Structure 1
């Protein structure tokens, strides 16, 4: 359906693609992977024609409809959410607009002379609308929006009043409703809660068209794709298998390439030693010349390209007491809605609680109560006397001084720390060399998240409270964070929609439901086994 043939593309001084080739066939579901800045978004834009390759060509079969979801959702103003989704549903929405225009013409007395032609055109448009299943369009739009966690009230509300994250869902719903031959999805799992993520996973599994997508959620990617295309060093390499197979195969390839490189280096060193030893001896001249020619003809094996990875390093935190935090008979209301009534809950040393619940259940509210970011209406929240709290919240990224550099932000937070220790801290979180001079306003979401974590962990806490810490982080950075947190000796309370993160780190589950609060011993994996569902909103 789509073929990329020996494409080359340069962005400024960076070579993104060098004679790279790949293809997307009918019905294939492909994950597009590669380090940040490798060119994933550029590849999508070249397929849709928004950008052109410098060399080579991209060809698409005649008549193939492409739906492209990107993080740049554009303007949405006026009209209902369901109307916005229906208007972007491709050919059927264009026919719907034509029908509305013809209906207005049929009711216009000034166009009486055109009535016969208008009636004929209306009949043709109506037939096309029926063929495209247009009369079921609104029902399908509402079904998709419900899957993405929109309430009926939100569906009928003004799209202009939505936050950026909810607008992302509207843009995604448009592409899903469009049902194109090919979907290009750039990070569709961003900004989704766990229930929406699982619904989207199910939708894409049954999608009959071709799919090319990126995602920072390894579990989501693993369950959908049957092939992986990797962008690295300007090349496109295709792996047949899911994401887990790709990881294993890539590691195996690296090991084999490293072994080949080392064997060749040993052989070259031996040959060079012989040449150096006997090059001055006339009796060995023929042998020396023969070996020099042999070396010239050998195709050199390159060492495997090692990706830069962030290494989170936790300094040992002071030991807390056994009682970390307790909530006694806590009540909390927002407006006319009760979030908590007489809530009793406690966290003890070395416990790692993940908090689960549907949108609006009170997950972030609980974290705010524990960290004293909000006060209970009644009841008591008590933090242990030797507890040192570290709180990662989404709004913390918005509070970074945009005009200050990364280093200046760290210096302002820790004025007594030496330059060397702050540069070492920045390096641990992926900011090396001149990166520390970047102004915060130009940082990506992932870079901002890493900076906030660096500030939180410089003076190590013994109680971590984390609200969606993996948002904006790529798969490799998430893996490093999980590895570091698994060594953390303190207590944890966290919210996350990343199932790999939940399974790897939790040893307790707090489930918030309309019927009350459930507490489970054992982590997320045990919770899934016990309830039969991966998220509270999916339980019958």
Structure 2
């Protein structure tokens, strides 16, 4: 369906692709992976014709329709979310537009002389509309939007009033409703809650077209793709299997290449040593010459290109008392909506609670109550003795001083720390080289989130309250964070839609449902085993 033949591409001084080739066949579901800046988005843009390769060609079979979802959704306003989604449904949406124009023409007195032709055309277009399933379009659009977490009210409201994250969901719904022959999805799992993520997973599994996607959610990637395409050092390499298989295979390949490299280096050292010892002796001239020629012909084995992996180790956090936080008879309302009515909840030292519930269940509100960011309407929230809290929320990024650089922000927060220590901290959270000189105002949302997290974790609290800490983190940074938090000796209360993060770090689950609040001993994995569901909103 889609072929990349010996493509070359350079952005400024950076070479992205060198004679790279790959293909996407009918029905294939491929995960596109590679370090940040490797060229994943550029590859999507070349397939859609938004950019051209410098060399080689992108070949697409005649008649193949392509739907491309990117993080850059543009401006949306003036229509309902449902209308915006239906507008992207391909031919049927064009036919629907013509139907509306013909209906207006039939009611226009100025066009009365052409009424026979208009009515005849209306009959043809109506037949085509029915043939394309036009009458089911609204229902299908609403089904997709509901799957992505929209209420009926949001579906009918002006899309311009939605936040950036919800507009992303509208843009994604447009592509899903279109059901093109090939979908290109750039980070579709961003901005989704767990219920929507699981719904999307099922949708994509049942989608019979070709799929090429990126995602920083390893569980999501694992369950959908049957092949992985890696961009590394300008080359495209395909691995048959899911993301986990790719990781294992890549590690095996690296070990084999390292062993080959070491064997060859030992052989070369031996040969060079012989040449150096005997090059001045006439009696060995023929042998020396023979070995020199042999060395010239040898194909050199390169050492494996190792991905830079960073680790972050917590300093020991001060010990808190056994009672970390206690909520008694807490009530919280927003307008006419009651979020909590008499909530009792206690967190003890070294417990790691993950909070689960559908959108609007009160997950972030609970974290705000515990962190003191919002007061209860009634009842008490009491922190225990010697508790030092670190609270990560998306709005925490607003406190960064836009004029300070990343490094200056870290220096301001930790004036006693050495430069080497702060540079290592910045590196752990994805700021290497010149990145530390970026001013905070030009940082992306993801970069701001990483900086705030670095500042919070360097001088560790003994109680971490984390609201979606993995949003915007790439897989490598996420793995680093999970590894670090697994060693953390303190207490945690967190919300996350990343199942790998949930399973790796929780030892308690607090489930918020319309029927009430339920606590489960054991972590997320045990919760799934006991309830038979990966998220509360999926109960049948």
TM category (shorter chain) comes to over 0.9
CA distance in 2, matches of 1:470, 1:30: 23
Residue 241 of structure 1 corresponds to 241
- After TM superposition, the structure 1 = structure 2 runs for residues 88-487 of structure 1, keeping only pairs within 5 Å, are 88-487=88-487
Instruction: Write the deviation string for residues 404-462 of structure 1: whole angstroms up to 9, x where unpaired.
Output: 21011112223344434333332333323322111123323332222111110121111
Residue 36 of structure 1 corresponds to 36
CA contact (8 A) 2:312 2:425 kept: no
CA contact (8 A) 1:313 1:428 kept: no
SS at the partner of 1:347? Answer: strand
Instruction: Write the deviation string for residues 331-362 of structure 1: whole angstroms up to 9, x where unpaired.
Output: 11111111111111111111100000000011
CA contact (8 A) 1:9 1:18 kept: yes
Instruction: Write the deviation string for residues 31-61 of structure 1: whole angstroms up to 9, x where unpaired.
Output: 1111111101010000000000000000111
CA contact (8 A) 1:411 1:417 kept: yes
CA contact (8 A) 1:309 1:430 kept: no
SS at the partner of 1:472? Answer: coil
CA distance in 2, matches of 1:432, 1:32: 24
SS at the partner of 1:168? Answer: helix
SS at the partner of 2:189? Answer: coil
**Structure 2 residues not aligned, in runs of 5+:** none
CA contact (8 A) 1:187 1:216 kept: yes
1:139: how far off? 0.4
Q: TM-score, normalised by structure 2?
A: 0.98
CA distance in 1, matches of 2:157, 2:102: 27
Instruction: Write the deviation string for residues 351-400 of structure 1: whole angstroms up to 9, x where unpaired.
Output: 10000000001100111111111111111111112111111111112332
SS at the partner of 1:481? Answer: helix
CA contact (8 A) 2:429 2:477 kept: no
Q: TM-score, normalised by structure 1?
A: 0.98
CA contact (8 A) 1:311 1:429 kept: no
SS at the partner of 2:487? Answer: coil
CA contact (8 A) 2:400 2:440 kept: yes
CA distance in 2, matches of 1:443, 1:309: 22
1:312: how far off? 1.8
1:196: how far off? 0.3
CA contact (8 A) 2:219 2:500 kept: yes
CA contact (8 A) 1:510 1:519 kept: yes
SS at the partner of 2:254? Answer: helix
CA distance in 1, matches of 2:421, 2:247: 34
CA contact (8 A) 1:357 1:363 kept: yes
**Structure 1 residues not aligned, in runs of 5+:** none
Residue 82 of structure 1 corresponds to 82
CA distance in 1, matches of 2:482, 2:44: 30
Q: How many residue pairs align between the two structures? A: 540
CA contact (8 A) 1:311 1:430 kept: no
CA distance in 1, matches of 2:124, 2:274: 85
Instruction: Write the deviation string for residues 107-143 of structure 1: whole angstroms up to 9, x where unpaired.
Output: 1121122222222222221122112111100000010
Please say which of residues 348-357 and 311-320 is displaced more in the overlay. 311-320
CA distance in 2, matches of 1:435, 1:178: 39
Please say which of residues 57-66 and 111-120 is displaced more in the overlay. 111-120
Residue 49 of structure 2 corresponds to 49
CA distance in 1, matches of 2:430, 2:153: 43
Distance 1:430 1:84, change over 3 A: closer
SS at the partner of 1:509? Answer: strand
SS at the partner of 1:257? Answer: helix
CA distance in 1, matches of 2:420, 2:235: 38
Please say which of residues 396-405 and 28-37 is displaced more in the overlay. 396-405
The runs of at least 4 consecutive aligned structure 1 residues that moved more than 3 Å come to 415-421
1:401: how far off? 2.2
SS at the partner of 1:486? Answer: helix
CA contact (8 A) 1:30 1:213 kept: yes
- After TM superposition, the structure 1 = structure 2 runs for residues 52-71 of structure 1, keeping only pairs within 5 Å, are 52-71=52-71
CA contact (8 A) 1:354 1:496 kept: yes
